[in-house]
Structure 1
Amino acid sequence: HINEELKNNETVNDLYFTFEENNDCIEFCFNEPSPKGWSVKPYDKPTKVSRRAIDDYGSKSPPNFPQRLIEITAEPGEGADRLSYPVTLRGIKSDNMELNIVLKTVIQQPLPTSSSMSLRDEVNSATAISQRQILNTSHLGDILDLLKRHGYSGVNYYDFGLHLGLLPRTLNVIDMERGDVSSHFRLCLEKWLQQADDVKGKGGPTYDTLIQALRKIEQNAAADGIDRELSIGKF
């Protein structure tokens, strides 16, 4: 997954651990303040993964372990060229009780635009691309905000996930995870963005397939609202 999302990632060592006695989860602690120029925020607080979830996912071949989303943003200026952020671990026994998030920023030059292209053409072109572009887990926060703005909270995420291309076995595992409907819905979208199961067969993780899936579960108001927002280039 790292190789797919981050083409320039560095190789990291595996973490070997055992659970502490009478403990049934591993907790990732984001206690340190974010360095200057950076913001590091976990989506779930506290950020935990249960022993059962690890065992269930790890029993698959190849293993497909549970994930937790972390939002990391960089602001232009001093200190934003490199991030080094420690995350301490609780609930386990290991030779390494701290993970270090290391990122480097790369400044990309904007693509030149044609002077003969009208503003309307630029907006329409960008919108058409945005609805068909393949999304990934870095878009999860934007997608959650988009769905929330248009009134869909994921209350029937199981059916929604089926229409996005996820299989019942994946959704059943999500359903067994600790947490409320919103956390299960977030995991459902994560799997979709990771192109699990038959997501590619449904057209891949795009805004277009998201809208189609909403219509199939009769969330037409949300689908229409998202379609309108994308069509005017607001999103």
Structure 2
Amino acid sequence: MKNKITILILTLLFTVSCEKSAETYFELSDKALSDNKIEESISYLDDLLSKHQNDSLSAKAQYKLSVIYLNWQNDLESGLGALKKTLENYPDSKQAAQAQIEIQNFPVWVFNQAESLRMQKKTKEALANCSYLISHYPSHPLSAKAQYLIGDIYMNDLRDFDTAINQYRKVIENFVGSGQEAHAQFMIGYIYANILKDTDSARKEYQYFLEQYPKHDLSPSVRFELDFLGKDINDIPALKHITS
């Protein structure tokens, strides 16, 4: 009987001695991240939180998860969720204070990240960020800009002009009164006039622009376009010097 108890105690001691400390898990996560092993890094942090949830490193680990999800994986749902857990589970930590700031500014971060991703030629991710912002924060002022940015990406980056027109129309339909509304209407006319060479559609869109936004800064440009729709550049006095 004594031998069995001794073996049990030794087994428990061995198990405890083999258990990694919170600090070890955190260091392993850092190492995995530096080696670009993202999932492995996340796994170590999850282990830290499940096995050492009351350790002083737990708040730091929870917050670090949000950083990895957002900056390495562009996983907005998981990143925001990790920020909220930091705030809820470790309310008195400095990480919670930072998480609260980031949660409040999350729509701004999402939009700025969309622009950054676009500059990096990560078009799919940029579009995903814009769509996330529009669906989760439809009343935020940046949602109109996000919708306009989608149209701009389809026009200039993907050269998908029909989709660009449809996306610009969503600005007009869903964000009435926004600073992007008139610009979106102008871009629809511009695509028809200068890219698709659809004079009738261009005239219709430009005339609608003047009806809706007669005093807008773009109105002179719209009138200019209407005056010379379908004409060769050599037939436009103001532009003839370009080809001469």
Shorter-normalised TM range: under 0.3
Q: Which has the higher contact order (CA 8 A, sep 6+)?
A: 1
> Under a length normalisation based on structure 1, what TM-score does the superposition of the two structures give?
0.26
Return the structure number with greater helix share: 2
Structure showing greater radius of gyration is 2
> Under a length normalisation based on structure 2, what TM-score does the superposition of the two structures give?
0.25
